[in-house]
Chains A and B, each alone.
Chain A
Amino acid sequence: MVILINYEMSLLNSLIDAESIISAVEQNVDESFVDHKDIWEFIHGYYSKYSKLPTKAIVKNQFREFEFIDTTSAPLQFYVDEARKHALSENVRTTLHDTIQILRDSGPNAALNFVAMNSLRLMKNTGALKDTNLAGDFADRVGDYKERHDDPTKNIMGIPTGFSVIDKHFGGWQKGDFIVILGWTGSGKSWLARLFAANAWQAGYSPLIISLEMNKEQEGYRFDTILNQGETFRNSDLMFGRGVNPEAYNEWAARTFKDKPPIHLVTSDGIEAANQNVVEAKVEQYNPDLLILDYHGLFDDAKKGGTETERAKNLSKDFKRIAVRHNIPVIDIAAVTMDANHGERAPALAEVAWSKQLAYDADLVMAVHRNAESQLFEVVSRKVRRGHPFAFYLEWDLDTGKRKELFDA
Chain B
Amino acid sequence: MTLTGEILISYFETSVEKSQKIYFQTDKDESNAKRIVNFFTSKGGEETCKAAIDRFVSREKQPVIFLHDFVVKLGSIVEEINLENKDRDEFRRLVQETKTRMDGDSN
Contact call B87/A407, Cβ cutoff below 8 A: no
Contact call A380/B84, Cβ cutoff below 8 A: no
Contact call B98/A165, Cβ cutoff below 8 A: yes
Query: Which A residues lie within 8 Å of B101 (CB)?
Result: 168-169, 388
CB of B40 to closest CB in A, whole Å: 18
Contact call B87/A345, Cβ cutoff below 8 A: yes
- Identity of the chain B residue whose Cβ is nearest the Cβ of A380 in the assembled complex: B91
| Size bracket of the A interface | 10 to 19
Contact call B59/A169, Cβ cutoff below 8 A: no
Asked if A391 CB lies within 8 Å of chain B CBs, one says yes
CB of A161 to closest CB in B, whole Å: 14
How many residues from B make CB contacts under 8 Å with A?
A: 18
The proximity string for B residues 65-107 relative to A, scoring 1 for CB distances below 8 Å and 0 otherwise, is: 0000000000010001101100110010011111101100100
The proximity string for A residues 376-405 relative to B, scoring 1 for CB distances below 8 Å and 0 otherwise, is: 001010000000111111000000000000
Contact call A344/B91, Cβ cutoff below 8 A: no
Contact call A392/B80, Cβ cutoff below 8 A: no
Asked if A331 CB lies within 8 Å of chain B CBs, one says no
B83 partner, pick from A169, A345, A388, beta carbons under 8 A: A345
The proximity string for B residues 43-68 relative to A, scoring 1 for CB distances below 8 Å and 0 otherwise, is: 00000000000000001000000000
Query: Which B residues lie within 8 Å of A341 (CB)?
Result: 59, 76, 80
Query: Which A residues lie within 8 Å of B80 (CB)?
Result: 341, 343
Contact call A392/B98, Cβ cutoff below 8 A: yes
Known A-B contacts A165-B102, A168-B102, A407-B99; A343 and B94 likewise in contact (beta carbons under 8 Å): no
Contact call A391/B95, Cβ cutoff below 8 A: yes
Asked if A164 CB lies within 8 Å of chain B CBs, one says yes
The proximity string for A residues 121-142 relative to B, scoring 1 for CB distances below 8 Å and 0 otherwise, is: 0000000000000000000000
- Identity of the chain A residue whose Cβ is nearest the Cβ of B103 in the assembled complex: A407
Known A-B contacts A341-B59, A391-B94; A168 and B87 likewise in contact (beta carbons under 8 Å): no
Apart from the given pairs A165-B102, A169-B101, 10 other A-B contacts in the complex at a CB distance below 8 Å? A168-B102, A341-B59, A341-B76, A343-B84, A345-B87, A346-B91, A390-B94, A391-B97, A391-B98, A407-B98
Residues of chain A whose beta carbon lies under 8 Å from any beta carbon of chain B: 164-165, 168-169, 341, 343-346, 348, 378, 380, 388-393, 407
Q: What are some 26 contacts across the A-B interface (CB < 8 A)?
A: A165-B98, A165-B102, A168-B102, A169-B98, A169-B101, A341-B59, A341-B80, A343-B80, A343-B81, A343-B83, A343-B84, A345-B83, A345-B84, A345-B88, A345-B91, A346-B87, A348-B87, A380-B94, A388-B98, A389-B94, A391-B95, A392-B98, A393-B95, A407-B96, A407-B98, A407-B102
- Top 5 A-B pairs ranked by shortest CB distance? A391-B94, A407-B99, A345-B87, A390-B98, A391-B95
